[in-house]
Amino acid sequence: MNEKILYVRLPCNPIFPIGVVYLSDHIHKVFPEIEQKIFDLGTIPPLDFNTSLDRCIDEFQPTLLVFSWRDIQIYAPVGGRGGNPLQNAFEFYYAKNPLVKLKGALGGLKVTTAYYGELWRNEGLIRRGLTRARKYNPQARAVVGGGAVSVFYEQLQKQLPKGTIVSVGEGEQLLEKLLKGQDFSDERCYIAGETQPRERMIHEQPTPLEKTACNYDYIQTIWSDFDYYLQENDFYIGVQTKRGCPHNCCYCVYTVVEGKQVRINPHDEVVKEMRQLYDRGIRNFWFTDAQFIPAKRFIADAIGLLEKILDSGMTDIHWASYIRADNLNPELCDLMVKTGMNYFEIGITSGSQELVRKMRMGYNLRTVLQNCRDLKTAGFNDIVSVNYSFNVIDETYETIRQTIAYHRELEKIFGADKVEPAIFFIGLQPHTHLEEYAFEKNILKPGYDPMSLMPWTAKKLLWNPEPLGSFFGEVCLQAWKQNPNDFGREVMQILEDKLGCAPLEEALTAPVKKQLAKV
């Protein structure tokens, strides 16, 4: 059969669909003769999803449908689809005032309806697409993958049409094997209704792959809406420089989705890829790596890449990424500033060294501070978002005071207006150490549904356990009431007003005699 592949990026906020771009680029390099098309529902208004998918399938008549599903979990401290999910949940769970509680319940209902609506809609789009493609090619198949599927692959097996191949992590090798007619059962995948996902499948190492620069001349020929992302100059276009993260942070699943083995894309290829986007007018890049500098031993690599970017003459660009700020040195800081890094996120989670250690995060908070000073000295004068997730394990009033001290020190370094505290509560994810901890502590029972947004389950998945859960609930509600537009800073201020601030030295030292959390 002459294969014709349609890549459908399922509805999503308009984040550049780098996943399907890379997949189609890889397949083109291996099978240049195969006809392909990218269809991005992120650029289509919701009312037109069905009709535009139908039209696309009628015109293209694919034999293989590659559905890419980016995100499912919506807890965030920011306004999301259907409202601010975190605020609604907290109003419902923690408000003392019955009217606020009712508002939270109604808001929560709206968010829940939107959430389940989106799940069913996406499942419906997969079904609809496959049925329609089979009108033209009765043998047509569907493969489903992407970030959301990687996290929730076990839960999705009953929801997808029988015969759908469900993929975890990167999909290049799976698609290649499928198209070659080879056995692909050793890839991280299963077939809905036919095979079962292997036990701990997500923990298997992905098959290594040497990544070359994406060929955007080709991509432009198979994606009619590519220009959508070129027109607005506020999009940060994704470029991947490496895959994998060697760390073990207790709540994080990236390290298993991408694997612990860090695989670096050749610098020349990364620069070649950026250059093609640059020549099309792109000036903002997001290095989509799980971590841009995953460990100290990758500092030299980051320096090498940034030097190449500088040498390439792309001097008016900006870039952003997740940065483990414990892995910097003055030379790297200097290059980061020179190459245009204008935003980064540090996920230290807590400003208490004791808790950071208990969460297995491997950060030395003192080193982070020193490196931030180096970054400032190098001339960094833009925004840094510091991600704090309170109450993960063993939080106490003392560790909160330490986090305040740490945050105030970051403000001293960068300026209070430049440091944005992003207050997250962890959305518990399957296959993490935190999930095991929840089982051990009887907070969750094996067999629970991690995709459920029913209030009784959601309350446990939105990780904020007692005894401090209600305290944080009330602090957050007060912050939304007082200053909803600067929620993070307001939370920090309220916490400081209530609890005070520890001496910085206390935050930076974790007494060794304290027992490490057994997570």
Interacting residues toward ligand SF4 by CB under 6 A: 245, 247, 249, 252, 254-255, 290-291, 324, 347
Taking phi over 0 as left and psi of -120 to 50 as alpha, with beta for the rest, 517 belongs to: beta
Q: Which of 6, 8, 10, 23 binds ligand B12 (CB under 6 A)?
A: 23
Q: How many residues bind ligand B12 (CB under 6 A)?
A: 44
User: Exposure of 307 by Cβ count < 10 A (0-12 exposed, 13-18 middle, 19+ buried)?
Assistant: middle
Q: Which of 43, 63, 122, 240 binds ligand B12 (CB under 6 A)?
A: 240
Interaction of residue 22 with ligand B12, rule CB under 6 A:
yes
- Decide whether 178 or 400 has the Cβ nearer to ligand B12: 178
Binding segment for ligand B12 among 16-24, 191-199, 226-234, 359-367 (CB under 6 A)?
16-24
- Decide whether 249 or 277 has the Cβ nearer to ligand SF4: 249
DSSP 175-193: HHHHHHT---TTSSEEETT
Work out what residue 62 binds among ligand B12, ligand SF4, none; the CB cut-off runs from 5 to 8 Å by kind.
Answer: none
Tell me the β-bridge partners of 66: 7, 143
Residue 451 near residue 72 (C-beta atoms within 8 A): yes
Work out what residue 240 binds among ligand SF4, ligand B12, none; the CB cut-off runs from 5 to 8 Å by kind.
Answer: ligand B12
- Decide whether 80 or 469 has the Cβ nearer to ligand B12: 80
Q: Which of residues 141-170 bind ligand B12 (CB under 6 A)?
A: 143-148, 150-151, 167, 170
φ/ψ of 134, rounded to 5, equals -70, -15
Report, in Å, the least distance between residue 78 CB and ligand B12.
Answer: 6
Buried b / exposed e along 19-54 (16+ C-beta atoms within 10 A): bbbbbbbbbbeebeebbbbbbbbbbbeeeebbeebe
Work out what residue 340 binds among ligand SF4, ligand B12, none; the CB cut-off runs from 5 to 8 Å by kind.
Answer: none
- Decide whether 405 or 426 has the Cβ nearer to ligand B12: 426
Q: Which residues, 6 or more positions from 516, have their beta carbon under 8 angstroms from its beta carbon?
A: 357, 358
Report, in Å, the least distance between residue 111 CB and ligand B12.
Answer: 12
Q: Which of 414, 326, 427, 333 is nearest to 72 (CA)?
A: 427
Q: Which of residues 72-111 bind ligand B12 (CB under 6 A)?
A: 72-76
DSSP 258-326: T-SS-EEPPHHHHHHHHHHHHHTT--EEEE--S-SS-SGGGHHHHHHHHHHHHHTT-TT-EEEEE--TT
Work out what residue 173 binds among ligand SF4, ligand B12, none; the CB cut-off runs from 5 to 8 Å by kind.
Answer: none
Residue 292 near residue 305 (C-beta atoms within 8 A): no
Q: Which of residues 265-324 bind ligand B12 (CB under 6 A)?
A: 286, 288, 290
Residue at token pair 């841009």: 292
Work out what residue 191 binds among ligand B12, ligand SF4, none; the CB cut-off runs from 5 to 8 Å by kind.
Answer: none
Q: Which residues, 6 or more positions from 146, have their beta carbon under 8 angstroms from its beta carbon?
A: 10, 19, 67, 68, 69, 70
- Decide whether 40 or 170 has the Cβ nearer to ligand B12: 170
Q: Which of 5, 6, 10, 18 binds ligand B12 (CB under 6 A)?
A: 18
- Decide whether 229 or 322 has the Cβ nearer to ligand SF4: 322
Interaction of residue 325 with ligand B12, rule CB under 6 A:
no
Interaction of residue 238 with ligand B12, rule CB under 6 A:
yes
Q: How far is CA 398 from CA 363, 402, 509, in A?
A: 19, 6, 13
Distance CA(16)–CA(42), nearest Å, equals 9
Distance CA(301)–CA(288), nearest Å, equals 16
Three-state secondary structure call for residue 220: helix
Work out what residue 249 binds among ligand B12, ligand SF4, none; the CB cut-off runs from 5 to 8 Å by kind.
Answer: ligand SF4
- Decide whether 223 or 322 has the Cβ nearer to ligand SF4: 322
DSSP 344-393: EEEEEE-S-HHHHHHTT----HHHHHHHHHHHHHTT--SEEEEEEETTSS
Q: Which of residues 217-236 bind ligand B12 (CB under 6 A)?
A: 236
- Decide whether 7 or 390 has the Cβ nearer to ligand SF4: 390
Report, in Å, the least distance between residue 62 CB and ligand B12.
Answer: 13
Residue at token pair 């190492």: 205
Report, in Å, the least distance between residue 380 CB and ligand SF4.
Answer: 21
Interaction of residue 254 with ligand B12, rule CB under 6 A:
yes
- Decide whether 8 or 252 has the Cβ nearer to ligand SF4: 252
How many other CB atoms are there within 10 angstroms of residue 363's CB atom? 22
How many other CB atoms are there within 10 angstroms of residue 164's CB atom? 24
- Binding site residues, ligand B12, CB under 6 A: 12-13, 15-16, 18-20, 22-23, 66-68, 70-76, 143-148, 150-151, 167, 170-172, 174-175, 236, 238, 240, 253-254, 257-258, 286, 288, 290, 429
